[in-house]
Amino acid sequence: MLTFYVLMWPAVVAGVLFFIARGFLRDWREARREGHRLI
Protein backbone atom coordinates (compact mmCIF):
# COMPACT_ATOMS: atom_id res chain seq x y z
CA MET A 1 0.00 0.00 0.00
CA LEU A 2 2.69 2.51 1.03
CA THR A 3 4.90 1.36 -1.84
CA PHE A 4 2.08 2.09 -4.28
CA TYR A 5 1.53 5.45 -2.54
CA VAL A 6 5.18 6.43 -3.07
CA LEU A 7 5.44 5.21 -6.67
CA MET A 8 2.08 6.42 -7.99
CA TRP A 9 3.23 10.07 -8.08
CA PRO A 10 6.12 9.59 -10.53
CA ALA A 11 3.71 7.56 -12.70
CA VAL A 12 1.21 10.45 -12.78
CA VAL A 13 4.06 12.89 -13.52
CA ALA A 14 5.10 10.70 -16.48
CA GLY A 15 1.54 10.92 -17.82
CA VAL A 16 1.50 14.72 -17.53
CA LEU A 17 4.91 14.89 -19.18
CA PHE A 18 3.59 12.93 -22.17
CA PHE A 19 0.45 15.09 -22.35
CA ILE A 20 2.40 18.37 -22.34
CA ALA A 21 4.98 17.11 -24.86
CA ARG A 22 2.18 16.03 -27.23
CA GLY A 23 0.51 19.42 -26.84
CA PHE A 24 3.77 21.21 -27.60
CA LEU A 25 4.31 19.16 -30.77
CA ARG A 26 0.78 20.00 -31.92
CA ASP A 27 1.38 23.71 -31.25
CA TRP A 28 4.64 23.58 -33.18
CA ARG A 29 3.11 21.74 -36.17
CA GLU A 30 0.15 24.11 -36.26
CA ALA A 31 2.46 27.13 -36.18
CA ARG A 32 4.52 25.71 -39.06
CA ARG A 33 1.44 24.80 -41.09
CA GLU A 34 -0.12 28.24 -40.70
CA GLY A 35 3.17 30.07 -41.08
CA HIS A 36 3.11 31.99 -37.80
CA ARG A 37 5.43 32.05 -34.80
CA LEU A 38 5.10 29.51 -31.97
CA ILE A 39 5.46 32.37 -29.45
Partner 1 sequence: MSPEGIPGQLSAPLIIALLVLFYGGTLFISFTISRKKENADDYMTAGSKIGFGVSAASMTATWIWASSMYASATAGYTYGVSGPIHYGLWGALMILFIYPFGRRIRKVAPRAHTLAEVMYARHGRSSQLMLAGSNVLGSVISLTSNFIAGGALVAMLSPFSFQQGIVTIAGGVLLYTLWSGFRASVLTDFTQVMAMLGAVVVIIPVVFFAAGGPELFTAGAANVTPQQQSFFSSDAFLNQGAPYIAAVLAYAIGNQTIAQRLFAVREDLIKPTFVTATVGYGATIIGIGMLGVIALYLGIEPTGGDVNNLIPQLAATYLGPVLLAVFFIMIIGALSSTADSDLSALSSIMMADVYGQNVAGRKKADPRTMLLVGRVTMIVATGAGLYFASGQLNILDLLVFVGALWGALVFPVIASFYWGRVTNVAFTAATLSAIALFVPVRFELVPMTGPIGLLVDVLAVIGVGVVLGLMCFGFFGTRVALVVGVLATVVVAPFGIGFLHDYTVLSASLVAYSVSTLVCVALTLRNRESFDFSLIARRTGEFDEDDDVPTADPVPNPTR
Residue ranges in contact with partner 1 by CB under 8 A: 2-3, 5-7, 9-10, 12-14, 16-17, 19-28, 30-31, 37-39
Nearest-CA neighbor of 27 among 36, 16, 17, 38?
38
Give the 3-state secondary structure of residue 27.
Answer: helix
Q: How far is the CB of 34 from partner 1 (least distance, A)?
A: 11
Q: How far is the CB of 35 from partner 1 (least distance, A)?
A: 15
**Rounded-to-integer distance, Cα 12 and Cα 17, Å:** 9
Q: How far is the CB of 19 from partner 1 (least distance, A)?
A: 6
